[in-house]
Structures are given as C-alpha cells and as structure tokens.
C-alpha cells in the first residue's frame, strides 16, 4: 500500500450557515453547527486515507477537547498519529467558517496562538508521498531533504520567505493566486490573458526544477504541460460552501500523481474534487468518493 506523510497545521473546524451576516454590534446564537478536522495537513490526510492511501500526520495539537476530537477522528480513519506532538501551553487552533446562504460567501476566522514547530520528525518508514503546507518550514525542509525520491507536494499559500524557499525543493508547488501574484510581482487580470502567462513564467524562472500549479478559485487552475500553459476550468455546481476546497484540490492532485497520472489529469481531478466538495457544508464532511470523481472525469475527458 502506498504511504504518505502530511506535515503542517492542524485545526478544529467549526462550520456555520447564516441567512445573512451578523450586523456589527449584534448578538447571534447558533444551534446548528458542524465540527471536524481542519488545517491543510489535516484535511489532506483525511482525504488521502479515505481514498486508500496509508497516511501519517505530523503536527501539533493542544492538550484540550478539540485536540482530543481531532485525534479521535484520525483514529477512526486509521491515520497514523505517532508523530503528532502535544502542546500543554497552547490550545488547538480553531477555524470558524461562516457561510452566507444568500451570497454563498465564506467568512473565515482563524483563532490560534503562535504556530509551534515540531521538535523532531524521526520517521521510521519511507514515504511515497510528502505533503507539506509551509507552517512548519524547518521540519518541512528536513522532510524533503531526507526523502528526495518521494513525490512531494507543497501548499504554497503562506507568503513567507521560508515557503518561497520550500518551492525550490518540492517537486510540485500548488500556489494560491495571492501567493503567485506576490512572488511574481504582478497581478493577474483575467481580461488580459498575457498576465496569466507572465505570472507563471516568472514563478517558473524562480523555481526551475518545480512543477507549478496556480489555483484560481472559481476560474479553475493554471498549469503547464508540453510547454503549453493551460487553464482547467472549475466544475460548474450549485455552491454551498467553498471552505476546504483548496485543500481537497491539492489532495486530489497529489493522489492522481501518486497513482501515475500526469499533471494535466491531476489538475482536472483536483478541479472536479473541489467542485463536488463545494456542494456540501464543511471540508472533511464533503470529501467526495473516488468513484464520483472518476465518473465525472471519464464523462468529460
């Protein structure tokens, strides 16, 4: 069985739906909510293990009720948690996602203490896939250096010098639009296609040995194959909640590459996965089945 390591930020997600956003100064009560594993590493890990990849998670959890909830979910899914370190001084980070049902827009509140890095990452096996998100840049670098033959996927969303350096080491860097624009030093204008080419080329010049993918939200994702820069469109769906779609895009891309697919198929599978996930509330709760993803892929490509 293929083995993966997901290293990075773990949070407890709380997802809420409202008819309209609360007015400043008002008081709101919520009686219905969804809570589950969050954070880039946590969501990707849950996705991969549901699709049959033997998965290990490395990160920090507080010694609190939300940390316990996350561990129970990982245990239920048979995710290896031996490399999760407890923090007795800091609470488990929380993400509160409020979805406006009328506009389908998400408002995100990240609640956490300063990110704490892992003290050690002495893995006793060789992974086939490494997923890192850049929050623990020191251990991410150590992991990429230690297993250079592994397929490595970096979530390049944090705009920091350490993540920019990690882009030079990972085999695949999936960049958010904001990260790509910041590093390239120019904005993307969808009315001017040449700006997309410029941003990609500037990133590629900085990261010569890394395959670059740029996520574009509802516009899909940009990639390059056979020296042709392309955009794979997003799946047209009735959107309920987009929280977690980026992480699930990355999980599907990594899974497809791990199983022998090329970059084009991987991006298209990612767009399909993100689209299906957007039809339900929450991230982990909306992970689609491989059968549903493959069915849509075969129908369209």
Residue-level pLDDT, tens digit, the chain, 301 residues: 899 999 999 999 999 888 888 888 888 777 777 789 999 999 999 999 999 999 999 999 999 999 999 999 999 999 999 999 999 999 999 999 998 888 888 899 999 887 788 988 889 999 999 999 989 999 999 999 999 999 999 999 999 999 999 999 999 999 999 999 999 999 999 999 999 999 999 999 999 999 999 999 999 999 999 999 999 999 999 999 999 999 999 999 999 999 999 999 999 999 999 999 999 999 999 999 999 999 999 999 8
**Residue 45: CB partners within 8 Å, gap ≥ 6?**
4, 6, 37, 55, 56, 57, 74, 79, 131
- Burial of residue 32 (CB within 10 Å: 0-12, 13-18, 19+) is exposed
- Is-contact 260 271, C-beta < 8 A? no
pLDDT, residue 29, reads: 78
The predicted model scores a pTM of 0.95
The alpha carbon of residue 131 and the mean position of all alpha carbons in its chain are separated, in whole angstroms, by 9
Q: Beta-strand (E) ranges in the chain?
A: 3-7, 11-18, 34-38, 54-62, 80-87, 94-100, 105-111, 129-132, 151-156, 172-175, 211-215, 221-225, 228-232
Among 266, 246, 261, smallest CA distance to 38 is for 246
Residue 298: strand, helix, or coil:
helix
* DSSP codes, 150-212: SEEEEEE-S-SHHHHHHTTTSSEEEE-HHHHHHHHTS---TTSHHHHHHHHHHHHHH-TTSEE
């Amino acid at each position: 069985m293929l083995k993966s390591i997901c290293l990075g930020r773990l949070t407890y997600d709380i997802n809420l739906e409202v008819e309209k956003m609360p007015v400043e100064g008002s008081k709101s009560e919520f009686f219905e909510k969804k809570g589950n594993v969050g954070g880039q590493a946590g969501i990707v890990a849950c996705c991969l293990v549901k699709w049959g990849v033997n998965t290990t998670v490395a990160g920090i959890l507080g010694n609190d009720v939300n940390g316990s909830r996350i561990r129970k979910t990982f245990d239920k899914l048979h995710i290896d948690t031996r490399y999760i370190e407890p923090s007795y001084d800091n609470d488990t980070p929380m993400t509160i996602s409020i979805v406006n049902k009328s506009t389908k827009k998400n408002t995100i509140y990240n609640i956490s203490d300063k990110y704490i890095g892992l003290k050690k990452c002495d893995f006793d096996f060789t992974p086939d896939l490494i997923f890192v998100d850049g929050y623990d840049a020191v251990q991410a670098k150590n992991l990429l250096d230690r297993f250079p033959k592994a397929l490595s996927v970096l979530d390049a969303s944090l705009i920091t010098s350490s993540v920019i350096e990690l882009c030079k080491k990972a085999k695949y860097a999936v960049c958010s639009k904001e990260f790509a624009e910041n590093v390239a030093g120019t904005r993307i204008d969808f009315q001017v296609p040449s700006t997309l080419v410029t941003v990609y080329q500037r990133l590629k010049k900085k990261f010569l040995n890394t395959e670059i993918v740029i996520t574009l939200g509802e516009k899909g994702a940009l990639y390059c194959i056979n020296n042709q820069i392309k955009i794979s469109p997003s799946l047209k769906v009735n959107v309920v909640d987009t929280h977690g779609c980026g992480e699930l895009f990355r999980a599907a891309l990594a899974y497809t590459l791990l199983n022998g697919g090329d970059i084009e198929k991987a991006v298209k599978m990612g767009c399909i996965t993100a689209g299906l996930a957007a039809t339900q509330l929450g991230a982990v709760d909306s992970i689609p089945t491989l059968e549903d993803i493959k069915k849509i892929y075969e129908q369209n490509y």
